[in-house]
Chain A
Amino acid sequence: MNRKTIFILLALFLLPIILRFAWYFPGFYLPQKIETPDYANLKMPQAPVSTPQPEEIKQTGGIVFADYSHANQFQPGEIQTLSDALARRGASLELNTDSTTLESQLKRASAYVIISPSIGFTADETRIILDFERRGGRLAVFTDATRGLIYSDSFSGTTANFPDSNIVNPLLKSFDISFDNDYLYNLTDNEGNFRNVFFEQFGKSDLTWGLKKVVLYGARSVKTDSGLGLLVGGDKTFSSQTDAAPNNDSKQGWAASALSADGNVLAVGDFTFMQTPFNTVADNNILVNNIADFLLSGRRKIALSDFPYVFNGSTASLLMTANVQMTAEMTGALSRLQSKLNTLSIDMQVSQSAPESGNLVVLGTFSPSEDLTKYIESYNLTLDDASEFIEIPQFGKLGRAGNGLVLFKAGQNGTTLVLLADTTDDLVVLMDTLSGGSLSGCVIQNDIAICSIGFGGKFSTGETPTPDGTPTPAAGAG
Chain B
Amino acid sequence: MKNFEIPPQERSRFLWWAIPALIIGVLFSLLIPKPVIGVIRLNDAIYASTAKELIAQIAYARQHPEIRAVVLILDSPGGTVVDTEAVYMELARLRMEKPVITWVSGMAASGAYYLSSGTDYVVAVPSSEVGNVGVIGYLPPSPFIFEDIISTGPYKLWGSPRDTTVREIEMLKQGFYQAVKLGRGDRLKIGPDTLLRGQIWPGSEALRLGLVDQLGSETDAYNRAARMARIWNFDTKDLYNAAIYGSTANVYGFFLQTKEGVTLPYPSRPGLYMLYIPPLPVEQK
Contact = CB atoms under 8 A, between A and B. Distances in A.
A24 B234 contact: yes
Contact of B228 (A15, A29, A163): A29
B144 interface: no
A312 to B, nearest CB: 42
Interface residues of B, number: 61
A475 interface: no
A26 B234 CA distance: 12
B32 A17 contact: yes
Interface in B1-23: 3-4, 6, 14, 17-18, 21-22
Nearest to A19: B29
Contacts of B179: 36-37
A459 interface: no
Interface stretch (A39-47, A323-331, A334-342, A377-385): A39-47
A13 B22 contact: yes
Contacts of B18: 8-9, 12
A421 B155 CA distance: 71
A187 B233 contact: no
Contacts of A16: 22, 25-26, 28-29
A32 B193 contact: no
A158 interface: yes
Nearest to B34: A24
A374 interface: no
Contacts of A159: 280-283
Interface residues of A, number: 57
A27 interface: yes
A44 B38 CA distance: 38
B35 interface: yes
Interface stretch (A188-196, A292-300, A441-449): A188-196
A166 B285 contact: yes
Interface centre among A10, A19, A44 (most CB of B within 10 A): A44
A195 B223 CA distance: 44
Contacts of A277: 163
A20 interface: yes
B171 A17 contact: no
A33 interface: yes
Contact of A236 (B168, B182, B193): B193
Interface in B49-86: 68-69, 85
Interface stretch (B88-96, B145-153, B203-211, B239-247): B88-96
B171 A43 contact: yes
B182 A4 contact: no
A36 B117 CA distance: 11
A196 B167 CA distance: 11
A52 B179 CA distance: 40
A187 B192 contact: yes
B230 A9 contact: no
A29 B99 contact: yes
Contacts of B193: 187-188, 236
A162 interface: yes
A27 B68 CA distance: 12
Nearest to B285: A162
A370 interface: no
A243 interface: yes
A42 B17 contact: no
A408 B220 CA distance: 91
B262 to A, nearest CB: 9
B187 interface: no
Contacts of B24: 13
A26 B89 CA distance: 30
B277 interface: no
Interface in B146-194: 163-164, 166-172, 174-175, 178-179, 182, 192-193
Given A9-B17, A16-B25, 19 more contacts: A17-B29, A20-B29, A21-B32, A23-B232, A25-B35, A26-B232, A27-B230, A31-B96, A34-B95, A42-B175, A43-B171, A45-B167, A161-B284, A162-B285, A187-B193, A187-B196, A193-B170, A194-B196, A243-B197
In the A-B complex, the 6 residue pairs with the closest CB atoms: A27-B230, A37-B178, A44-B167, A13-B25, A20-B29, A17-B29
Interface of B: 3-4, 6, 14, 17-18, 21-22, 24-26, 28-30, 32, 34-35, 68-69, 85, 88-89, 92-93, 95-99, 118, 163-164, 166-172, 174-175, 178-179, 182, 192-193, 196-197, 228-234, 280-285
